[in-house]
């Protein structure tokens, strides 16, 4: 009796498990089932736009119909501007100018270049104001109330010691530069003198005078050696200085050891 009841219990549990598995599979299939498509939702050919509804090329605006921007007139110097500049320069008072640009400079050595101008002093009086009169050159130039001087050249480090734009004094006005050649050989140094002219309510610089000076940058043997050492000090240290230092240290150590040793019989009579 106990065995038969146990069999029925096992059979009931197995049937319950099978039914649960069946219903679980059925619910999953029902959830993933694709809904039926309603045939009436599909648009008919009559509802599809015909090519006639698409605008023809004639209705599309052509590039000619698009307004093109007209370029504005270029603003540049006119003949009236040139005449105005000529009249302005002709009305300027003339004065003397002196400068001392040497014909030769030492490589990597600073040299002082000066420009002095005056509406009243003579050329000889201006020469006395130069820091170095050996290379003094004189000339005449128009002088305005404000003037600008610029010194430049390839292969030179130029440091101005005075403002580039200065108000001209009634006695003398000076510009100074520290010029250091950075490249050897024949180099050119340019000095430009400007005045500022007002045209169309704008102030523009006008070049009055440009001096081009050829400079011979000289390099001595001492300059060459110092330049070589400055560029190759690491290589020199590894190949020459370090071995020499080691050799000197070894000789000093050997001399010190020999000095400590006493010769045989030293102090005997």
Alpha-carbon distance of 138 to 124, in angstroms, equals 9
Please give the share of the chain, as a percent, with pLDDT higher than 70. Answer: 58
Q: Of the segments 4-13, 29-38, 64-73, which one has the largest average pLDDT value?
A: 4-13
pTM of this prediction? 0.56
Alpha-carbon distance of 242 to 21, in angstroms, equals 91
Length of the chain: 269
More confident residue, 38 or 200: 200
Mean pLDDT computed over every residue of the chain: 75
Q: Where are the beta strands (DSSP E) in the chain?
A: 93-100, 104-106, 111-118, 136-143, 146-152, 156-160, 165-167, 173-181, 185-199, 202-218
Each domain of the chain, given as residue ranges in start order, spans 80-221
Alpha-carbon distance of 265 to 269, in angstroms, equals 8
Return the pLDDT at 249.
Answer: 76
Return the pLDDT at 73.
Answer: 46
Q: Say if domain 80-221 classifies as CATH 2.60.40.10.
A: yes
């Amino acid at each position: 009796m106990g065995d038969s009841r146990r069999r029925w219990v096992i059979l009931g549990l197995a049937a319950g498990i099978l039914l649960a598995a069946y219903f679980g599979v059925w619910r999953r299939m029902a959830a993933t089932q694709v809904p039926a498509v309603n045939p009436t939702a599909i648009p008919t050919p009559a509802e599809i736009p015909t090519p006639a509804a698409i605008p023809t090329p004639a209705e599309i605006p052509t590039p000619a119909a698009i307004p093109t921007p007209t370029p504005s007139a270029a603003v540049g110097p006119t003949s009236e501007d040139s005449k105005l500049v000529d009249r302005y320069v002709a009305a300027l008072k003339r004065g003397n100018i002196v400068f001392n640009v040497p014909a030769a400079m030492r490589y990597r050595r600073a040299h002082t270049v000066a420009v002095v101008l005056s509406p009243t002093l003579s050329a000889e009086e201006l020469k006395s104001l130069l820091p170095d009169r050996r290379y003094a050159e004189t000339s005449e130039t128009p002088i305005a109330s404000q003037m600008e001087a610029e010194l430049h050249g390839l292969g030179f480090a130029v440091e101005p010691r005075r403002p580039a734009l200065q108000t001209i004094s009634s006695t003398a006005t000076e510009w100074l530069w520290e010029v250091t050649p950075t490249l050897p050989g024949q180099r050119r140094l340019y000095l430009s003198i400007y005045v500022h002219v007002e045209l169309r309510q704008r102030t523009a610089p006008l070049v009055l005078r440009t001096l081009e000076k050829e400079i011979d940058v000289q390099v001595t043997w001492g300059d060459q050696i110092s330049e070589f050492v400055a560029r190759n000090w690491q290589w020199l240290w590894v190949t020459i200085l370090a071995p020499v230092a080691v050799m000197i240290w070894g000789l000093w150590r050997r001399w010190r050891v020999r000095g400590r040793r006493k010769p045989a019989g030293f102090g005997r009579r």
